[in-house]
Structure 1
Amino acid sequence: MALFSLSMMSNTLVVAFLSLALLNPTKADLVDDICSQAANDPQYCVQRLRSDPRSSSADLPTLAQITIGFAQSDTKSTADLVKSLEQQATDPKLKERYKSCLENYNGALNDLNDCTNDLKKKDYPSLNIHASAAGTEADTCDDNFSDPPIEPDNLKKASKHVQDLTFVICAIANKL
């Protein structure tokens, strides 16, 4: 009889742990959930966020911090790309577009720096506003290429990655 009770208790514990696991999604699911809800390229989002080991156990504020860091890094590298394209350009119209884009990406970096401060202050509405503004700056650069010559593919792709990360920051801010 004691063996039956012990077996029954073990089964009950297993069911209880499984129930808790189903009710409380893992932190990895948090990355999947946020990326699938907010990013235009969820695969890039998941790959980028998971490249930081902290993301596997991150809560929302930590995930916001990670995403802001990646957005800052991607924005800086996109600004560097724009500088390089501007230096290579011979068409004055194209040079002017790149100059405008560089201003956009510098503005985006300022907005993302504000995001860092907003997160520290737990000012989540401002976090959302500044992340949205950073994404708008990247989009404004893209708009410079509505007429020929077209935007280079590498700039378009880099811009979309910056925008995706800013969308993710906004989604996290809305959940905080």
Structure 2
Amino acid sequence: MATYPKKNVFLSSLMFLLLIGSSYAITALDGNAICGKTLNPSFCLKFMKSNPKISSADLPAVAKITIDSAQETASKTFKKIQSIAQKTTDPKSKEAYSSCLDYYGSVVGNFDKAKKYLAAGDPVSANIMVSAAMDGPDSCIYELKNVKADPSVVKNSEYIVNVCGITLVIVNMLPSRT
């Protein structure tokens, strides 16, 4: 008879710990709540499902995952744009890709700053840096509309903009520790 209360206390404690531990984990409901606030909900849902780390991560970790993904793509895209700008002979295309290089110039650094602010518990500043990073690819897409653009540059730029949209929704959900 004495073991029954011990089991109840143990089970109650275990349930409490599970509730606390999972309070920030991304559930299907959270994913829908996040993605419903983005400009491209279908992209967001695919992105969230495509990374197995997201399903067990808390919101700050998911924000970092999204920033890392956008930053990696931005680095690759910047190198691709450099290569295209050096090789192209069409003056209009050269000008468009040179503008893209200017736009992308600070994108990776802005993502670095966003991660530092995120780690410091300053989601407002993280939001500002992600928004600034997002401007580069978005402006590049605009520049490339009037030339025969490399499809991978446009696709990667759109990817970055969409991932940044997810990040912005998430950081706006985070409490500030500063």
**C-alpha distance in 2 between matches for 1:26 and 1:95:** 43
Matched, 1:174 2:172: yes
Residue 26 to residue 126, structure 1, CA distance change in 2 (3 Å) = closer
Q: Is the 8 A contact 2:93 2:148 kept in 1?
A: no
- Name the structure 2 match of 1:45: 44
After TM superposition, where is structure 1 displaced by more than 6 Å over at least 4 residues in a row? Answer: none
**C-alpha distance in 2 between matches for 1:150 and 1:173:** 36
Output the TM-score relative to the length of structure 2. 0.74
User: Of 162, 166, 175, which residue of structure 2 is paired with 1:164?
Assistant: 162
Letter in 1 for 2:110: D
Once the two structures are superposed, the pairs formed by residues 107-126 of structure 1 within 5 Å of their partners are 107-126=106-125
Q: Is the 8 A contact 2:141 2:158 kept in 1?
A: no
Query: Of the two, which has the highest radius of gyration?
Result: 1
- Following TM superposition, by how much is the alpha carbon of 1:58 offset from its aligned partner in structure 2, in angstroms? 1.5
**C-alpha distance in 1 between matches for 2:55 and 2:45:** 11
- Following TM superposition, by how much is the alpha carbon of 1:85 offset from its aligned partner in structure 2, in angstroms? 2.0
Once the two structures are superposed, the pairs formed by residues 16-165 of structure 1 within 5 Å of their partners are 27-40=27-40, 42-146=41-145, 148-165=146-163
**C-alpha distance in 1 between matches for 2:93 and 2:142:** 13
Q: Is the 8 A contact 2:93 2:147 kept in 1?
A: yes
**C-alpha distance in 2 between matches for 1:32 and 1:105:** 31
- Following TM superposition, by how much is the alpha carbon of 1:33 offset from its aligned partner in structure 2, in angstroms? 3.0
Output the TM-score relative to the length of structure 1. 0.75
Q: Is the 8 A contact 1:27 1:55 kept in 2?
A: no
Q: Is the 8 A contact 1:27 1:59 kept in 2?
A: no
Give the 3-state SS of the residue equivalent to 2:144 in structure 1.
Answer: coil
Once the two structures are superposed, the pairs formed by residues 7-22 of structure 1 within 5 Å of their partners are none
**C-alpha distance in 2 between matches for 1:36 and 1:108:** 26
- Following TM superposition, by how much is the alpha carbon of 1:133 offset from its aligned partner in structure 2, in angstroms? 0.8
Q: Is the 8 A contact 1:45 1:164 kept in 2?
A: yes
Letter in 1 for 2:153: L
User: Unpaired runs of 5+ in structure 1?
Assistant: 1-19
Which range is displaced more, 81-90 or 107-116?
Answer: 81-90
Which range is displaced more, 83-92 or 131-140?
Answer: 83-92
User: Unpaired runs of 5+ in structure 2?
Assistant: 1-18
Alignment length (residue pairs)? 152
- Following TM superposition, by how much is the alpha carbon of 1:26 offset from its aligned partner in structure 2, in angstroms? 5.8
Q: Is the 8 A contact 1:104 1:137 kept in 2?
A: yes
- Following TM superposition, by how much is the alpha carbon of 1:139 offset from its aligned partner in structure 2, in angstroms? 1.2
- Name the structure 2 match of 1:3: none
Give the 3-state SS of the residue equivalent to 1:38 in structure 2.
Answer: coil
Give the 3-state SS of the residue equivalent to 1:37 in structure 2.
Answer: coil
Calculate percent identity across the aligned residue pairs. 33
Give the 3-state SS of the residue equivalent to 1:145 in structure 2.
Answer: helix
Q: CA RMSD in A?
A: 2.3
**C-alpha distance in 2 between matches for 1:39 and 1:100:** 25
